[in-house]
């Protein structure tokens, strides 16, 4: 496991300790890094209050193209005026 995975786990733990999400979804280019889906859940419990972490992690349905799809949708909405 690389240092970036440990830092990402610490960051996600900070948010998870505060808002307790139902799911964590990776989007953009990060969603293409498959090892995150395996390694991050293993590291996270050491930074979570209580030491338990059951929140599932997943990849965005449209992967790293979601931003482009949103921009295209906004462009077509703007043309209708």
* pLDDT given at position 43: 92
> 3-state class of 68 per DSSP?
helix
Question: Residue 26's closest CA among 45, 47, 11, 48?
Answer: 11
| pTM for this predicted structure | 0.72
Q: Could you give all domains of the chain from N- to C-terminal order, each with its CATH number?
A: 3-78 (3.30.420.40)
Query: Rounded to a whole number, what is the distance in angstroms from the first to the last CA of the chain?
Result: 51
**Predicted confidence (pLDDT) per residue in 9-68, tens digit:** 999 999 999 998 999 998 888 888 999 999 999 999 999 998 788 889 998 887 677 677
Residue 79: which pLDDT band, with cuts at 50, 70 and 90? Answer: low
Question: Collapsing DSSP states into helix, strand and coil, what is residue 60?
Answer: coil
Q: How many residues does the chain have?
A: 81
In whole angstroms, give the CA distance from residue 10 to residue 19. 14
**Secondary structure tally for the chain: helices H, strands E:** 3, 2
């Amino acid at each position: 496991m690389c240092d970036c995975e440990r830092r990402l786990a610490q960051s996600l733990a900070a948010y998870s300790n505060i808002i307790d999400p139902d799911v964590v979804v990776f989007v953009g280019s990060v969603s293409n890094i498959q090892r995150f889906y395996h390694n991050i859940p293993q590291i996270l419990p050491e930074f979570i209050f209580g030491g338990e972490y059951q929140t599932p992690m997943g990849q965005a349905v449209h992967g790293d193209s979601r931003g482009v799809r949103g921009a295209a949708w906004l462009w077509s909405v703007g043309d209708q005026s």
